[in-house]
Chains A and B, each alone.
Chain A
Amino acid sequence: MAKEMFLAGCAASAFGAKFARVEVISSYPIRPYTGVMMELSKIVANGELDAEFVHGEGEHAQVSIAYGASAAGARAYTGSSGVGVAYAMECYSPAAGGRYPIQMIIADRALDPPGDFGSEHTDVMGCRDQGWIMGWAETPQEAFDNTLIYYRIGEDPKIMLPQFCCQDGYFVSHIPGKVVLPEQSQVDEFLPPYDPPDPLDPTNPTSHGPQVYPDQGSAIDIQRAQAHLDVPKVTEQVMDDFSRIFGRTYNPFVEEYMTDDADFVFFIQGAHARTARFAVNHLRKKGVKAGMVKLRFVRPFPTEVVKECLSKFKAVGCVETSTSYGGAMKGGNLIHEVRASLYDSPKQPLVTSFMAGLGGEVVTLNEFYNMAKVLSQAIKDKKIKKYVYWLGFEKEGI
């Protein structure tokens, strides 16, 4: 029988790894992700999971261990937060280029503006172009489910890509929520053992990560880009299997909330979607036609789905928890993806972005109401004034 537990995001991810029967775990502490490894080390020590638990001497070593383990054919699991994610940067591209389906749990944390432990997506968003699959969990339940879903997608023979399985630091990683844990047999049916195509094997030696000539580099890049093109199709199959086996259904790419007749939507990923839902409920009571669209994957970005979904509305506010300093839109990362997706759509909503919750600030209900004001005004004026609003710092008192 499936059972329910009250788990914080970190523990939920650790349980996800346990149910996924990961074979090699490599750890190095940094908050707020540390709880994942604390829980997993207990699980391994108690004999509930038969896995090698290896401590790296830093995050670079940590990801290298997972890389080697995956090359040897193991289902490898690692994770980090904030500056730790950045320190391992060198390892991300070869892991994706060599096609090792490692999973890395990220509990997001700011990349120090001089010194900051707060939650913010800037850490791993800075690594989003390395060829890893990447998306966010909003709740501990989603964190648990994503662990299984991401391995299934990443290990698919057509895909073979590593995955950044992300959750907001503190807001998800440290806040307990109800998690339905399945039967092991259900997970085994959903996620069969990893079947590596070319494992390191002394009886049939292979060379992994060899030096290549420059023109071979582009050929390997094409392979990786092609794998990303294949992810959406595989994701749909995986999600079908997921709902069949576990009885819980997720829209594979975006979740729409109160969008049927919405004039504007908050476009958002991760923990703050919970607050956004409350804000939408309240706005609806006041007669404001607000809605929410929650993004489940940033890489590969579901361009067509987002284009079709967002072109229905008059205005879209991207709620950003990471920045792209000096970028084309002067603000966050999501607005770049959204505007690019909508570029050739015959129907163009007004799109702006809200910098919210940087450095780990709580995004309050009030701030959502302020965003609603900006979007409503933009609809009235039929134009947006600015590409980016820094919530709480705007003169106009949005």
Chain B
Amino acid sequence: MSDFKFPEGKEVPRGAVLPAPVKENRMMITGNWRTDRPVIDHEKCTLCLNCFIYCPDACWHLDEEEEKMVWNADFCKGCLICAVECPAFALTAVNELEFEDGVVRLEKPF
């Protein structure tokens, strides 16, 4: 019927229906919106999982083997809800400028 051909690399699945990402959507990295990032002090962390529960982007998870919280930089927007909700004061906000791989140094900041 329609003879329209998408140029290579421009195709999208019909209606943008995709196989569900099992863990995270690698097509849409949003961590580069941050100005500050939450930095964890593992010494203070009690593994209460508050940060895991409160993070709107599911950026914290518990590494059961290592017994420590792991942060996912690709989706953390730097809202710092986790830092506010951490009862052990284990999370502090550090400006992205402080990091070698800070989002301010990315080629495509957003």
Inter-chain CA distance A163–B27, complex, in Å, is 31
Given contacts A210-B25, A210-B27, contact A198 B6 (CB under 8 A): no
B28 CB to nearest chain A CB (Å): 5
- A220 interface neighbour in B4, B15, B19, B21, Cβ under 8 Å: B15
Asked if A29 is at the interface (CB within 8 A of a chain B CB), the reply is: no
User: Is B16's beta carbon under 8 Å from chain A?
Assistant: yes
Query: Is B2's CB under 8 angstroms from A207's CB?
Result: no
User: Please, how many angstroms separate the alpha-carbon atoms of A239 and B110 in the complex?
Assistant: 49
Residues of B within 8 A of A226 (CB): 2, 4
Q: For A222, list chain B residues within 8 Å (CB).
A: 4, 6
For the complex, is B106 an interface residue (Cβ under 8 Å from A)? no
Query: What B residues does A349 contact at CB under 8 A?
Result: none
How near does chain B come to A302, taking the closest CB pair, in angstroms? 16
CA distance A160 to B17 in the complex (A): 13
Residues from chain A with a CB closer than 8 A to the CB of B1 are: 158, 229-230, 233
* A97 and B20 form a contact (CB under 8 A): no
A216 at the interface (CB under 8 A from B): yes
Which chain A residues border B16 with CB–CB below 8 Å? Answer: 97-98, 209-210, 212, 216, 220
Which A residues from 171 to 228 make CB contacts under 8 A with B? 197-198, 205-213, 215-216, 219-220, 222-223, 226-227
User: Looking at the complex, which one of A207, A211, A227 makes contact with B17 (CB distance below 8 Å)?
Assistant: A207
Assign chain A's interface to a size class.
Answer: 20 to 34
Q: Which of B12, B21, B25, B27 lies in contact with A223, CB distance below 8 A?
A: B12
Contact of A206 among B2, B20, B27 (CB under 8 A): B20
**In the complex the two chains form, is B12's CB within 8 Å of A198's CB?**
no
Cα separation A386 to B33 with both chains bound (whole Å) = 55
Q: Are A211 and B2 in contact (CB under 8 A)?
A: no
**CB-CB < 8 A to B15: which residues of A?**
97-100, 160, 198, 208, 220, 223
Set B12, B17, B20, B21: member contacting A216, Cβ < 8 A: B12
**A220 smallest CB distance to B (angstroms):** 6
- A141-186 with Cβ < 8 A to chain B: 158, 160
Q: Whole-angstrom distance between the alpha carbons of A259 and B91 in the complex? A: 79
Instruction: Give every chain B residue within 8 A of A216 (Cβ-Cβ).
Output: 12, 16
Contacts of A212 in B (CB 8 A): 12, 16, 27-28
Closest A residue to B15 by CB, please name it: A99
**Which chain B residue has the least Cβ–Cβ distance from A208?**
B17
* Chain B residues near A158 (CB-CB < 8 A): 1
Residues of A within 8 A of B25 (CB): 207, 210-211
B1-27 residues at the A interface, CB under 8 angstroms? 1-2, 4, 6, 10-12, 14-21, 25, 27
Distance (whole angstroms) from the CB of A304 to the closest CB of chain B: 16
Residues from chain A with a CB closer than 8 A to the CB of B18 are: 206-207, 210
A73-107: which have CB < 8 Å to B? 97-100
Nearest-Cβ distance from residue B33 to partner chain A, whole angstroms = 13
Give A269 Cβ to nearest chain B Cβ, in Å.
26
Question: Which residues of A lie under 8 Å from residue B21 when comparing CB positions?
Answer: 207
User: Whole-angstrom distance from the CB of A363 to the nearest CB of chain B?
Assistant: 39
Residue of A nearest to B11 (CB): A219
Q: Is the CB of B17 within 8 A of A220?
A: no
Interface centre among B4, B15, B18, B28 (most CB of A within 10 A): B15
Top-10 shortest CB links A-B:
A205-B20, A99-B15, A226-B2, A219-B12, A98-B15, A230-B1, A198-B17, A207-B18, A207-B20, A211-B28
Which residues of chain A have a CB within 8 Å of any CB of chain B? Answer: 97-100, 158, 160, 197-198, 205-213, 215-216, 219-220, 222-223, 226-227, 229-230, 233
- A–B Cβ pairs within 8 angstroms, 15 of them: A100-B15, A158-B1, A207-B17, A207-B19, A207-B20, A207-B21, A208-B17, A210-B16, A212-B27, A215-B10, A219-B12, A220-B12, A222-B6, A223-B12, A233-B1
